[in-house]
Amino acid sequence: MNKSGRPLLSRSYHIPLSMFDDAFRRFQKKFVYPQNIFISVIFLAIAGVYVHAAIKDNTQTLAYLLIAACLALVLVRWYRTFKLRRAVHDALKDVEQDTYELNVYEDGMVIRTKDAPQPEASAEPEPAAEPAAREEKTGNGFQQLFPEEPAQRDPVPPTELPFGTGMKLLEFPEYFMAYVVKQNFYVIPKKDFSDEEIAQLKQLFHL
């Protein structure tokens, strides 16, 4: 992707957790549900064959086991689909306050994560710890050689998304979605763009 020139459009934005939940649900409905339905139909058809065999001869224990296996595979696949949605929701709570920057070029776009805002320091000073509390924090009165520090998040490198057959661009009422086939998808909320910028994005995305 050629990034030598200035981007045609550059804007910072924030994705509310509820919007990402909606986007992930739409993503699953469009790209995951069809696969689940196709596989479910196949296993249910196989189960139907063994149901017919079991009706003709109810002594076939293997037929009952295969019916149960087919139904279990269908249920497990759908269960994992909905479980993944919940897991993604919980994972995104940690980055809910992050801000992103979008730079769009003629042949692609670059998305980068800005630093998440730090919690505001309390105006009131914390009371001095009691001797017992200080002792507990330092490990039975001995000073820690390696005191704990707040975890630092590693910087996320910018993501380059060249336009082409490997990426599908979709538009929804509240956001755009860029789906890199079999890899990941990205949400671009419309709320942080002006009407002119939204129209420009539609033109650049060929929507």
CATH fold group of domain 1-15+97-116+157-207: PH-domain like (2.30.29)
User: Which tokens sit at 22?
Assistant: 């909606």
Q: What is the mean pLDDT of each run of 10 residues along the chain (207 residues)?
A: 79 91 91 94 93 84 90 95 90 84 90 65 52 47 47 70 87 92 87 93 89
Burial of residue 104 (CB within 10 Å: 0-12, 13-18, 19+) is buried
Cβ(113)–Cβ(94) below 8 Å:
no
Which pTM does this prediction carry?
A: 0.68
Domain boundaries, the chain: 1-15+97-116+157-207, 17-95
Q: Per residue in 71-87, pLDDT tens?
A: 999 999 999 999 998 99
Burial of residue 33 (CB within 10 Å: 0-12, 13-18, 19+) is middle
User: Tell me, what's the pLDDT at 177?
Assistant: 92
